[in-house]
Amino acid sequence: MLQENQQNKTDVIVVGAGPAGVSAAVTVARGSKNVVLVERGNFAGAKNMYGGVIYSHAAQEVFPNYKESPIERFVSTHSYVIMSENDSTIVSYKNPAHNENAFIITRANWDKWCVEQAIKEGVYYAPNTLVKELIVKEGKVIGIRTDVEEYYADVVIIADGVNSLLAKQIGLRKDIKPKNVFMGVKEVIKLPSEVIDQRFGLINQTGCAMELVGGPLKDLFAMGIIYTNKDSVAVGLGVALEDLKNNKTKPYELLEKMKKHPFVSDLIQDGELLEYSAHLIPEGGYNCLPKLYTDGAMVTGDAAMLVNNVHFEGTNFAMISGKYAGETALEALAKNDFSQNILCLYKKKLDNSFILKDLRTYKNVVKTLTERTNSIGYYSNKLNEFLEIFTTADGVEKKGKFQKFAKHFFTKR
């Protein structure tokens, strides 16, 4: 067995090469310290499922050259779709000044590119490496144990995803409760680029991001998504795991129902299925945050439950929290102090950032929406019912229709 002062020793080890981990690793490397980035997949992004939109501000902070990355489309249109049984209402927001505020990527391509940039910055990358457990000595994390050997570091940054076994091992987290996690399922459907442009009203390879509620998702704490890639469309949904259990619903069956809704089916007609994927998403918010640091270690990204479930923000939280973890590791190395006394600076950075400020703002949203799931479906149906009356000319006076609508609206829920 190797001892911690022998050859397998580095300054920082980062576990997980997703957006949080690679951001932490590249930040440490830019501080002229040695860092090893460990990834259990054959390549970065191999085990990731994502919608997915990335906000440019976070990408810019970590990778100033992000526009050289494999971007599918910049988002020019954000649309919100309220579905009933067969009809729908869509509200779209466009602002030419915001056309580069967000962009759409596929994780396999994006993560691979990010790791390539990190390697150029001096990060040592170790794919296909499974970390079985953290090495703890006298209450301090001092390294990792893989299925091959042991590696040591002054600081370990844990970025191993939503079900972080390593954070659980050292008591930073407990098991996730079904009510605090979503199941995300997604299909990627191939369509010609010109067909996507025509169906989504896009020009010059701009993109559209859609969020959908109601219809086949009614009576569930769930939301659908549609994102346009260059020559494919991502169609998916996120649904509370507890709702799936209580309603005895399978996520892929729910996705099939959503795809058959007229609004969705028209957009993906004649498309070819390229892939199907599923992934857990932490949705507990501020009230479910774990402890973020201990002696010798910090936890970041999805492993730290850092997701804004109201605005569908997760990747930007991951990248910026990873950057903060990397910065804190550099401060610890400069002071040669790897205890909680120094690593607590990571939490202070998050407290002062938009990440925890936003999570505090929305800390009770999940609980409120869960309690009012039936109301969401009800009001979705009523909005579309109202607009059906409003837009129909059938030779019948509208006064009686609206009176009947108002009576049912205020007396039946």
CA distance 337 to 221: 45
- Asked if residues 289 and 300 have their Cβ atoms less than 8 Å apart, the reply is no
Spatial CB neighbours of 372, under 8 Å, sequence gap ≥ 6: none
| Among the listed residues 25, 32, 85, 23, the one whose alpha carbon sits nearest the alpha carbon of residue 54 | 23
Using 50 as the pLDDT threshold, list the residues of the chain that sit under it: 1-5
pLDDT in tens, 31-58: 999 999 999 987 666 666 676 899 999 9
- Asked if residues 227 and 207 have their Cβ atoms less than 8 Å apart, the reply is yes
pLDDT for res 2: 37
**Separation in Å, CA 252 to CA 186, 231, 291, 323, 359:** 9, 23, 34, 35, 29
Q: How many residues does the chain have?
A: 413
- Asked if residues 304 and 355 have their Cβ atoms less than 8 Å apart, the reply is no
Q: Which letter does DSSP use for residue 177 in this model?
A: P
Phi, psi for 353 (deg, rounded to 5): -100, 170
Q: How far is CA 209 from the centre of its chain?
A: 14
CA distance 186 to 237: 7
Cis before 271? omega within 30: no
Phi, psi for 377 (deg, rounded to 5): -65, -40
